[in-house]
Amino acid sequence: MALNDTKTSIPDDIVISTDRELIDLAYTYRYLHDHMYWAKSLTPESFRRAVAHSAIVVAAYRGQPGGQPVGFARIISDLATFAYLTDVFVVEEYRGRGLSKRMVAHIVDHPDLQSLRRFLLVTEDAQSLYARFGFKPLEEHGHWMQIYNG
């Protein structure tokens, strides 16, 4: 998906990778736990398992793949019909520069995520970001059920 956002100022040396072996799990866990409202109850072990069993992980680095982490997301999916985007973050000093748009574009354009019947996410504060990539509020939300152990 092409983005025509002239306000972006992503440094030239930002690299986005799907290689889970490069992820600094300790740093990523700490950032999620310390800065993201939805990750306060997350334990290091549950995060490690979540990354290991996610279909796709996306990380943004400064300098080179495996360099200074500046963004992260993971996708839970069967890679055929369903995907759930979660744990998305951009390190504070890189926000407002277009990196989140670049990461989401990388995700929705990923070849393994094409032709899904349903691609979900939950957000309290980033609806406008995801809307530009085609995400919409659930129309039939009354049919959805959950067990929530937040």
Q: 86 is in which domain, residue-wise?
A: 14-137
> How many structural domains are present in the chain?
1
pLDDT of residue 2: 38
Amino acid at 25: L
In a domain, 98, yes or no: yes
Of 150 and 92, the structure prediction assigns the larger pLDDT to 92
Q: CB-based burial of residue 136 (10 Å sphere; 0-12 exposed, 13-18 middle, 19+ buried)?
A: exposed
pLDDT tens, residue by residue, 23-48:
999 999 999 999 888 888 899 999 99
Q: Which residues contact 126 (CB under 8 A, 6 or more apart)?
A: 88, 100
pLDDT band for position 120 (cuts 50, 70, 90): very high
CATH number at residue 23: 3.40.630.30
pLDDT at residue 7 greater than cutoff 90: no
Q: Looking at the domain assignment, is residue 9 inside a domain?
A: no
Is residue 18 in a domain? yes
